[in-house]
Amino acid sequence: MEVRQEAPMDNLSAEERQQRHPSPSKQSKASPVPVDTNSVTQRLQKELMALMMSGDLGVSAFPEGESIFTWIGTIEGGKGTMYEGLSYKLSLHFPIDYPFKPPLVKFETMCFHPNVDQCGNICLDILQDKWSSAYDCRTILLSIQSLLGEPNIDSPLNSSAAALWSNQEDFRKMVHKQYAGEDAI
């Protein structure tokens, strides 16, 4: 009978040590990767500074209260659009796994628009299936500002707004009527 002598553990590679004595986490099903909220916080702080320094006209956002994960944004209607001269308040809620998941962004000011519903929800591809971790708060705000002037009437959340879009004069009246009639949703 042959007796095999195992090599001392410190002479083994990490892979060989793992094979001989698997760690408890390797023995059971892999648990989800823990989220580093510190890195998310740092990213949001950098985005805040970049947004403040960008000089973009008509868009701004700042954390609301103590949490860096909840922001209040403002978008001014673009020049030459139905929304020119109007200012809209938005809420932005960043998930703890941001930027791998998009923030939840809603209009807090009533906005009559084909891609905004009565509750302020926004139908914008980059906030859903076209989200990329390369996007940031500035990109989101500028995209929503652009959406105000160029709605996607083929994919409406508000079908009455989409139907009225072809009559620009009546559409403008409804935008201003709803804006003046209710400041918050």
Answer yes or no: 137 catalytic.
Answer: no
Which position among 111, 119, 123, 137 bears the catalytic label? 123
- Residues 99 and 52: their CA atoms lie apart, in Å, by 19
| Chain position carrying tokens 């020049």 | 79
Residue 143 burial (CB count, 10 A)? 17
Return the sign of the alpha-carbon dihedral for residues 141, 143, 149, 153: negative
Which 8-state DSSP code applies to residue 21?
A: S
- The 3-state DSSP class for residue 120 equals coil
Asked if residue 114 lies in contact with residue 161, where contact means CB atoms within 8 angstroms, the answer is yes
Catalytic residues: 123
